[in-house]
Chain A
């Protein structure tokens, strides 16, 4: 019997909402300390260069410069990384991408420090650059990190069945190449961090840090201190989306090196330009898909070759591309699969974690391909997905049998199709051939036949995309989380998770879990400041794992304390072990609705009886396994399923895509906070739509052209129509009451659904994201010749 929830699943306003909208919330840059200094970065306007010498003589006696911080000041690790230690804190011999930092100046006044920067004389020799990832593995390619002997960051192969046999048994074979673009996280708050030296007690860091424990590990290695001497506190975070990980670890380490040297607090605060220049981005992918299928729509074989541009540093590339190799076929059961995913070094800005994490790229490819199969066979997009879709007991591309949870792919697909009247609209809007005219640039002046009659200018289209997504880290690594919970004698509660609030609403979600378990309301719970010295390392807050793993730990902690309270009640009111005790509405009741006491009085009693009302909760994921040579194994312990439908209008005259409505149907397991879950969908869909039609960071020899938001454009509220969230809450044995993941699935589908909708409207397929004005109208991207902004003239 399904238990009725009191708080879970209800719309609860986020606990930090009031502080944020009234400006009271304290972000990293809002912190100031007596004697605090600032640090500014020394860079050179090059992409790849050998540093011959750096002459500081003109700033050594500069009153504005308190200290020059270089490579030589680093007490510990000179190079760091999330997976591979290939990224220098300060570059002493060579820079390999434009964001690289040579040294820092520390002083009281940022303006004067920046002036001093220009007086430092750096002698360097520009080196040949490598910016095309397709050339990275050529035998004569320059090596970005010569000591590694190769530009290959990682290669993930996956072999299932017999690919030749699969193609031989197919009636049709289709092969296509897709490309996706480099994009920026575009968090509203640029990076900021303060390092405070504590003498014998080490160092304290306050920053806009996504993963305080990762930062602690990197800082400790760089300043050569044990972990307990590095205290990392997370300030309120102004957005992250996976982007405040590596960059913030390195900035924190730089600030720590400086603070220890000058023995004063040191702040680093990036401008937007520096943020976009140095921080990592989403990987651009080149994806080649070959698919063989039968006349009845059944896919027999899929051969996939993916190349990811990792940029100058390894960062999270091995994990990002690992998720790609697991999920590259899409949510379909295919007998014969042969996948190779490679990430390579180039001199481009480095790429790492970003919401979606290696899934939006292959989804764009495989979901475009599914529509092409449907068109070729004369069936509709829902039908082709139903024929091949994963069901309970299906075997995935990695050889994993889907079990122990509701495999809800077909349910979300049907729900989305029914909700939008998909099949009827799709047939109505479908075009048999392209209705976008071909423009001959040698004849730019229109002839009469090129004008479109006004009633023919706007065409409607509908498209969908579906996915399955492995929850949490999977075979990436150890997956466990902790939580500290302490009930006070008046019943109020301290709560702190080892996972971090990155704006996703985790504190509210966790408070709801405690409130539900103890039969109280969330306003009784005070969520403590995230601090690495107060709670066990719980791994990073990534992979949409907070509700599932962190929530699991919170529920565990709440159950432990409730258990102790129940034990006390049984003793005090002489109840049998089999008697159920109900914690509801701040009251303690028996099943026959007899009130024993109030929650408050019970907490007082427990304190007086010496009951321990504080604990650490723990949640560890079940085992997963992976064979890195064959790409086979139980990659993730459970999965979520989603389907999004995009309804668009396309302007045939301008190539504009108007997003009329996005219907997002997701199975995140049990919804803990309805408001928070809907918020995830609104945000994820908007970000995914921007990825689909607008966002792109373009580079000129490795240097990003769009260094601020006047040029790097993201969607505004006026660019997106209605977003309709629908939850299908599948049963799940893991997580708090079966709650799983939602954050990333909401983003990964939108671009593919939009592209399919535009194709439906125009009778023309698109192979390159984003579907911006030029892509839709001309079938290609246009790039400015000049990097410089017109307004800077």
Chain B
């Protein structure tokens, strides 16, 4: 059950940073609360020592979606519903939009936020693979620093990130992908809604005729954390996207996952499915 806990409601980013700079207390930032509240309720080790919750829902600096200088900047506390209904996301980031649509239920999407999805860094975080293929970077601030790093770098291990105690993720920046890039997102859960993903992957690629100019591949839930596959991407670049090659690429994804994850109780099911469905996706994309 949830212990009695102090909640602070700062009005701007500076106030947030000021609060977080106090190293004597255990703070937890709360936005939608879909992880924090359930984590507290379940007495999860990641939440159990929380003394103060810092509510960032009123902070303008971490809200809003805008396009500037060739980048789409998404406020860290944007809810999935805000992202899903945003016209910029709809036209420029269809893979992210598709990933967002698979999250939980409408009620969860109304509250849950994009940074919450990866700051928690669960292996099954639905949007991570989409953000990874878009080369998303994230802005992180504290009272005495401001840095921007790639999402892949930020994610360190299951439920572990680079975020320091006094820091907050403020924005997610995504370079607008050229119109020549096509891609897709796939999620498998045990049911069609309110499902924790068992497999996710995303692909973003540029085709020249039938030749693969460039491809970005990311997978989640089948790997310890959401991850890109640079070797696979290098292997595919410049290749003819014919049926045989697509099959070999899908098999190689299987190999890479085994390398990263080893064989687990669930591998017997997940490995054949991830290869099969990755093949299906590549066939779908290259047919267009």
Contacts and interface: CB of A to CB of B under 8 A. Distances in A.
A713 interface: yes
A716 B191 contact: yes
Contact of B191 (A444, A447, A715): A715
Nearest to B248: A448
B1 A777 contact: no
B165 interface: no
Contact of A446 (B3, B250, B265): B250
Contacts of B272: 439, 444, 446, 450, 653, 777
Nearest to B246: A451
B269 A777 contact: yes
> A716, A778, A784 — which one has the most chain B CB atoms within 10 A of its CB?
A716
B178 to A, nearest CB: 27
Contacts of B3: 111
B265 A718 contact: no
Interface in A770-790: 772-774, 777-778, 782-785, 789-790
A716 B193 contact: yes
A444 B276 CA distance: 12
Contacts of B69: none
B116 to A, nearest CB: 13
Contacts of B44: 791-793
Contacts of B45: 792-793
Nearest to B272: A439
Nearest to A709: B194
A696 to B, nearest CB: 11
Interface string A435-457: 00001010011111011101001
A451 B250 CA distance: 9
Contacts of A774: 268-269
B273 A446 contact: no
Given A718-B193, A785-B265, A793-B46, A452 B276 contact: yes
Interface stretch (B70-78, B127-135, B144-152, B278-286): B278-286
B276 A653 contact: yes
B122 A716 contact: no
A654 interface: yes
Given A653-B276, A790-B123, A793-B44, A719 B192 contact: yes
A446 B191 contact: no
A448 B268 CA distance: 18
A648 to B, nearest CB: 14
A713 B190 contact: yes
Nearest to A652: B276
A439 to B, nearest CB: 5
A654 B276 contact: yes
Contacts of B271: 444-445
B175 interface: no
A716 B192 contact: yes
B190 A457 contact: no
A446 B42 contact: no
B255 interface: yes
Contacts of B191: 694, 713, 715-716, 718-719
A694 B192 CA distance: 12
Nearest to A783: B265
Contacts of A111: 1, 3-4
A386 interface: no
B263 interface: yes
B268 A790 contact: no
A450 B280 CA distance: 12
Interface in B8-63: 35, 38-39, 42-46
Contacts of A447: 251
A728 interface: no
A653 B42 contact: no
B194 A716 contact: yes
Contacts of B276: 446, 450-452, 653-654
A19 interface: no
B6 interface: no
Nearest to A717: B193
A784 B265 contact: yes
A719 B191 CA distance: 6
B230 interface: no
Nearest to A654: B273
Contacts of A446: 247, 250-251, 254, 272, 275-276
Contacts of B105: 716
A785 B277 CA distance: 26
A445 B257 CA distance: 10
B46 A782 contact: no
A614 interface: no
A441 B268 contact: yes
A395 interface: no
B158 A793 contact: yes
Nearest to A792: B44
> A713, A783, A784, A792 — which one has the most chain B CB atoms within 10 A of its CB?
A792
> B192, B250, B276, B279 — which one has the most chain A CB atoms within 10 A of its CB?
B276
A710 B196 contact: yes
B93 to A, nearest CB: 24
Contact of A654 (B193, B248, B268, B277): B277
B192 A454 contact: no
A694 B193 contact: no
Contacts of A674: none
Given A111-B1, A114-B1, A793-B45, A782 B190 contact: no
A791 B122 contact: yes
Contacts of A715: 191
Nearest to B195: A713
Contacts of B232: none
Interface in A51-81: none
Interface string B97-112: 0000000010000000
A445 B190 contact: no
Contacts of B244: 448
A110 interface: yes
B265 A653 contact: no
Contacts of B122: 790-791
Contact of A451 (B247, B267, B269): B247
A790 B275 contact: no
Contacts of B279: 451-452
B121 to A, nearest CB: 11
B212 interface: no
Contacts of A656: 188
A444 B267 contact: yes
Interface string A701-712: 000000000100
Nearest to B190: A713
B119 interface: no
Contacts of B267: 444
Contacts of B269: 655, 773-774, 777-778, 782
B158 A457 contact: no
B42 A792 contact: yes
Contacts of B275: 445-446, 450-451
A457 B280 contact: yes
Contacts of B265: 782-785
Contacts of A654: 188, 273, 276-277
A777 B193 contact: no
Interface string A640-654: 000000000000011
B268 A653 contact: no
B254 A778 contact: no
Contacts of B277: 653-654
A654 to B, nearest CB: 5
B201 to A, nearest CB: 13
B283 A444 contact: no
Nearest first, the 9 A-B pairs at minimum CB distance are A653-B276, A718-B192, A718-B193, A716-B193, A444-B271, A446-B275, A445-B254, A792-B44, A446-B251
Given A444-B272, A448-B244, A451-B279, 16 more contacts: A111-B3, A439-B272, A445-B255, A446-B247, A446-B251, A447-B251, A451-B250, A452-B279, A694-B190, A716-B105, A774-B268, A782-B265, A784-B265, A790-B158, A792-B43, A793-B45
6 contacts: A441-B268, A445-B271, A446-B254, A450-B275, A452-B279, A655-B273
